[in-house]
Structure 1
Amino acid sequence: MSSLVFLVPLALLLGATALGAFLWSLRSGQYEDLDGAAERILMDDDENEPPIAK
C-alpha cells in the first residue's frame, strides 16, 4: 500500500508530461501536412535528371 503513495503521483506526472508534449506538438504544427510525406514518395524526379546520351 505504501508503494501507491509513490506510484500514483509518478503516473500522474508522466501523464501530464505526455499531454504537455502532445499539446506542444499540436501548437507547433507537427500535424499540419499529413499527406505531404505520403505523396512525396510517389512523385517522380525524372525532370531534374540530365538527358541520357545515345
Structure 2
Amino acid sequence: MNMIYMLIGISILLALVFLTAFFWASRTGQNDDTYTPGIRILFDDELTDQPLKKNDEDHTSH
C-alpha cells in the first residue's frame, strides 16, 4: 500500500513538472508561430557563394 502512495506522489510531481514546462514555453513564445514551420519545406534553401572544394573542382574539369 505504501508503494501506491509513493507512485501517486511521483506521478503528481511529474505532472506538475510538465505543466510548469508547458506554461514556461507558452510565456516565452515557443508556440507563437505555428504556420511557418509547416510551409518552410516548400521554399528553396538560400544559395551561398562558397568556393568549391578541391575534390569538386577536379571532377568538374573532366
Fold agreement, TM-score > 0.5: yes
User: Does 1 or 2 have the higher relative contact order (CA < 8 Å, sep 6+)?
Assistant: 1
Partner SS, residue 13 of structure 2 = helix
Count of aligned positions: 49
Q: Which runs of 5+ in 2 are unaligned?
A: 50-62
Across the aligned residues of Structure 1 and Structure 2, the Cα RMSD in angstroms comes to: 2.0
Partner SS, residue 10 of structure 1 = helix
Q: Which runs of 5+ in 1 are unaligned?
A: none
1:11 equivalent to 2:11? Answer: yes
Aligned to 2:58: none
Normalised TM-score (structure 1): 0.73
Instruction: Give the counterpart letter for 1:44 in structure 2.
Output: D
- The structure number with the bigger radius of gyration is 2
